[in-house]
Chain A
Amino acid sequence: MITPNYTCPSCNRKYYDPPFQCVDCGRELGWTCLSCHHGNPLIYKFCGKCGTRIPTAIAAIINEGKQIRFINIPQLNEAEISELLEEGERLVAKKIVRTFTQSELDALFE
Chain B
Amino acid sequence: MMMRFRQSKRHSVILEFLSNNIGTMKKVLIVDDSAYNRTLLAALLRKKQLTVDFAEDGEDAIKKFSEYNPDVVFIDYVMPKKSGVEALREMKQRNPNFVGIMVTSISAAEDVQKAKDAGANGYILKPYQPEKIFEVLKKFQIIE
Residues of A within 8 A of B (CB): 21, 26, 36-39, 49, 74, 97-102, 105, 108-109
Which residues of chain B have C-beta atoms less than 8 A from A21's C-beta? 127
Which residues of chain A have C-beta atoms less than 8 A from B121's C-beta? 109
Which residues of chain B have C-beta atoms less than 8 A from A36's C-beta? 78
| A109 to B105 Cα, complex, angstroms | 16
**Cβ < 8 Å to A, chain B residues 106-133:** 106-112, 116, 120-125, 127, 132
Say yes or no: A97 contacts B124, CB within 8 Å. Answer: no
| A8 to B123 Cα, complex, angstroms | 26
A49 nearest CB neighbor, chain B only: B78
- The verdict on B77 contacting chain A, using a C-beta distance below 8 Å, is yes
- Secondary structure dominating the interface of A: loop
Given A108-B123, A109-B121, A109-B123: A37 touches B106 (CB 8 Å cut-off)? yes
Partner of B112, one of A26, A38, A39, A100: A100
A102 nearest CB neighbor, chain B only: B125
Tally A-B pairs: CB < 8 A: 43
Given contacts A74-B107, A99-B108, 16 further A-B contacts (CB under 8 A): A21-B127, A37-B77, A37-B108, A49-B78, A97-B109, A98-B109, A99-B109, A100-B107, A100-B109, A100-B112, A101-B107, A105-B124, A108-B112, A108-B116, A109-B120, A109-B121
**Separation in Å of the B15 CB from the closest CB of chain A?**
40
Q: List 5 A-B pairs, minimum CB-CB distance, nearest first.
A: A98-B109, A97-B108, A99-B107, A105-B123, A100-B107
Which residues of chain A have C-beta atoms less than 8 A from B116's C-beta? 108-109
Given A21-B127, A26-B127, A100-B112: A105 touches B107 (CB 8 Å cut-off)? yes
The count of residues in chain B whose C-beta lies closer than 8 Å to any C-beta of chain A is 19
- Secondary structure dominating the interface of B: mixed
Which residues of chain B have C-beta atoms less than 8 A from A108's C-beta? 112, 116, 123
**Separation in Å of the A49 CB from the closest CB of chain B?**
8
| A26 to B120 Cα, complex, angstroms | 25
| A38 to B78 Cα, complex, angstroms | 8
**Separation in Å of the B132 CB from the closest CB of chain A?**
7
List 7 interface pairs A-B (beta carbons < 8 Å), by A numbering.
A37-B77, A39-B105, A97-B110, A98-B108, A105-B124, A108-B112, A109-B121
**Separation in Å of the A41 CB from the closest CB of chain B?**
14
| A102 to B125 Cα, complex, angstroms | 6
Say yes or no: B127 contacts A37, CB within 8 Å. Answer: no
